[in-house]
Structure 1
């Protein structure tokens, strides 16, 4: 018995330790190096590295450009996940329960495929396409507005400091909503039909069934979606880099933390300062994920 136990432990160690070693080398080690560089003034080129302690972080929270980026990312964090999840849920409900007697509509898979299509394109390609859509003279959006007689609504969407960030957020929502529609529709499809039938027999209407049965059962899926969309909102680098002038938009209206990190590292050769931005972004993202997970766990405990 003892030999079998030791043999099992050796097998487990042989299976787990190589994976842990790879994880430490390729995941934990880069994080540790980034944390160390954030405490230095390394330029990325020179072999000389001077330890400066928390000076980079002190400068960071006194940097007006970084604070503007922090505000913009905060607004994106409030808008992008909420709007994307709301639209994804609405479309999923219409596809899954929009037919007769609360059944799926005809051609549901076709609609899901059409809405999922933007996921086949990378964010830089999506940003480039929407840059043409937003073009003030030849863009599709202004052309459509002028074509239907709404010339007064035509704008320089990416050139107006008050509209540029909203235009960027609209692209992020458009590119993401199809994926979460499919995700929510799949989660709705896994709900036991007996629950829906029982609610119908008890006289519950569609809205009551959706509010009292379907949405509570989707809480875990919505929680995961919020975390992923929150990470997307705290990034936004690719879309801003490609779409906006500068980049960073007029009067830094679309400045985001990822863009400041890239600029300081590869334009100004301030890798230590850029690493401090990366560490700050890491802890903001980690805090978002922890808060979302704890909120979901607290709700499950209260329901139990």
Structure 2
């Protein structure tokens, strides 16, 4: 007993050692935290301050106007159009992209039962490369390519030429030139562009699931649909959750693709405008940096809220396998 008590007294660190440990941690954290604060936190704080001024971006003087930019913002009909378009992108693009990614990944990894157990469909390795190929291209290149795809026939439009070639000329439209279709063209391109990334992401998650689990489910008579819902989805849910949040952030931005495909105005009658493009136009076209900063702050707050709300709603008990 005395021996055990002595060992306990010796192993307990004293105040000096505890102080040295905390000092060691602080010394190693000061530099990275300082860098993070300088290059990440500081720009956010500057943007918030600028949003409270009428700065044009061309002068050194900045007049403090308080919340006037925010009041003007929510009375601006064009900003409300951009906000509505971002909401459409936020609802449709992540849902369709993630669902397609899960479907294609399941087909490529557990699509059939072969001689060696559960495996992907024939040619799955080639399909993965094909699906991932759009990620090799930059957003600017994708935007330019699809401008030609959705252009009118007389401007070399690939889609309209194809429709005419198969006898469906009545379906041709001036896709990017019509307010009712401009934003939906962007939706299609965003889904096409990102779905390959999620196929590869979900494939990596599914490949970590032991094949014996699927074999047991098949022996118990589970259908593919039941196996996907009760086995695959719970085991890859953490990956799905992260992927959905990332896709939601991409949908809240959408600046680069809309800018390339629809121009700085956001398409015909500015019907395809989004908040990122509205911010860019206010700053570099209208030289209203204070107003543009207010749009950026609203975009930041909405993006954080979307991420927090989804993480809260999608939280569930972690399912693990051994």
* TM-score normalised per structure 1: 0.95
Give the C-alpha shift of residue 206 in structure 1.
1.7
Please tell me whether residue 109 in structure 1 is matched to residue 125 in structure 2.
yes
* TM-score normalised per structure 2: 0.89
Structure 1 match to 2:4: none
The correspondence of residues 45-56 of structure 1 with structure 2, limited to 5 A, is: 45-56=58-69
CA distance in 2, matches of 1:41, 1:247: 22
Unaligned runs of 5+ in 2: 1-12
CA distance in 2, matches of 1:126, 1:300: 39
Structure 2 match to 1:66: 79
Structure 1 match to 2:10: none
Structure 1 match to 2:277: 259
Structure 1 match to 2:251: 233
- Contact preservation (8 Å) 1:165, 1:254: yes
The correspondence of residues 85-124 of structure 1 with structure 2, limited to 5 A, is: 85-101=98-114, 102-124=118-140
CA distance in 2, matches of 1:153, 1:33: 50
- Contact preservation (8 Å) 2:69, 2:294: yes
Q: How many residues align?
A: 302
Give the C-alpha shift of residue 99 in structure 1.
3.0
Change (3 A) 1:194 1:218: same
Find 1:136's aligned residue among 152, 170, 187. Answer: 152
| Deviates further, 252-261 or 220-229 | 220-229
Once the two structures are superposed, what CA deviation does each residue of 1:67-110 show, in whole Å capped at 9, x if it has no partner?
Answer: 00001111111110111111111111111122334412233222
- Contact preservation (8 Å) 2:52, 2:69: yes
The correspondence of residues 181-220 of structure 1 with structure 2, limited to 5 A, is: 181-220=199-238
Structure 2 match to 1:81: 94
- Contact preservation (8 Å) 1:99, 1:106: no
The correspondence of residues 145-224 of structure 1 with structure 2, limited to 5 A, is: 145-224=163-242
Change (3 A) 1:128 1:11: same
Change (3 A) 1:6 1:246: closer
CA distance in 1, matches of 2:223, 2:244: 28
Which of the two has higher C-alpha Rg? 2
Give the C-alpha shift of residue 124 in structure 1.
1.2
The two structures, once aligned, show a CA RMSD in angstroms of 1.8
Once the two structures are superposed, what CA deviation does each residue of 1:176-228 show, in whole Å capped at 9, x if it has no partner?
Answer: 00000111111111112232122122121222111111112222211111111
Unaligned runs of 5+ in 1: none
- Contact preservation (8 Å) 1:98, 1:105: yes
CA distance in 2, matches of 1:96, 1:66: 44
CA distance in 2, matches of 1:108, 1:11: 51
Structure 2 match to 1:16: 29
CA distance in 1, matches of 2:251, 2:222: 37
CA distance in 2, matches of 1:167, 1:247: 16
CA distance in 2, matches of 1:199, 1:105: 19
Once the two structures are superposed, what CA deviation does each residue of 1:244-301 show, in whole Å capped at 9, x if it has no partner?
Answer: 155311121101101110011011110000000000000000000100111122x328
- Contact preservation (8 Å) 2:264, 2:281: no
CA distance in 2, matches of 1:197, 1:301: 22
